[in-house]
Amino acid sequence: MTPELTVNGVTVRTFDEVYADLESQYKAIYGSDIDLSQNTPDGQKIGIIAKLMIDMESFGLNLYSQFDPDFSQGEVLNKIVKLAGISRSPATKSQVDVTITTDRNLTLIAGFTVEDENGNLWITSVDRSLLLGDNAVSLLAENSGAISASAGTITTPVTIVLGVQSVTNPAGAVQGLNEETDELLRIRRNRSLQRPAYSTVGSLFSKLVNISGVNDISIYENATSTHDDTFDLAPHSIWAVRRRWSYFRYYRDDCKREDCRNWTKRQYARNLQ
């Protein structure tokens, strides 16, 4: 038996089958009485060659499997999902609002860094003009991903600025998102292909997620005749939440009340996780 690529896929051999094939070929050349036991040079040579051959066949099988989005991984999966018009959602940075107390008016330059109790660094992204007293300033985590920080834990300035008396965060950080995993990316790709049924939530997702600049979409549907208290959805309504770059927005036709319009970025981020 040899490795084959047929209409049914790729067929490879087991190590025992490769070893047995090499053993029979050796005996055909040197005679059936050749000693091919494991403690002989010839037997060890067959074992080494068999291992190399099975490694090559396994590589070929794995490479063949990478063409299937249900089995591909990493960079290969990134290339495959591009055929569906989507890409892997990158990791985003956590954000926190801190209170910086100063004894004078000053300019806080971009790159001002504060360390939390876990050793994570939080940095300003733009210059800020601060007044004497307490000032609210937004910081981003140095590294992307779901980095958390409880209230009162971001207090140690790494960048020393004359006039800055203290730094603290009154509330916890809004966690960023980790890079989309292979499993979640496969699920989103499959959902993006639901185009034929234009009346379904799946087809709506596929249309919205393929709009340029839209990183991700979450769609909530209440198909019942009663109000959905969990997501505040009216009967027979749909709520689409869009994530575009680092900003969160929502669209819902039946949401006219003030409490609907005042959802915070923190709540949007939680809904999309």
Binned at pLDDT 50, 70 and 90, residue 197 comes out as low
Length of the chain: 273
Q: What is the pTM of this model?
A: 0.60
User: What is the full DSSP assignment across 166-191?
Assistant: EEE-SS--B---PPPPHHHHHHHHHH
Reading the block at residue 194, the tokens are: 């639901």
What pLDDT score was predicted for residue 221? 87
pLDDT at 101 over 50: yes
User: How many C-beta neighbours within 10 Å does residue 127 have?
Assistant: 11
Kindly report, residue by residue over 125-142, the tens digit of the pLDDT: 999 999 999 999 999 999
Please state, rounded to an integer, the average pLDDT across all residues of the chain: 83
**CA dihedral over 127, 133, 136, 141, signed as positive or negative:** positive
Tens digit of pLDDT for each residue in 140-168? 999 999 999 999 999 999 999 999 999 99
Q: Which of 11, 1, 6 is CA-nearest to residue 57? A: 11
State yes or no: pLDDT of 254 exceeds 80. Answer: no
Q: For residue 139, give both structure tokens.
A: 């910081």
Helix/strand/coil for 50: helix
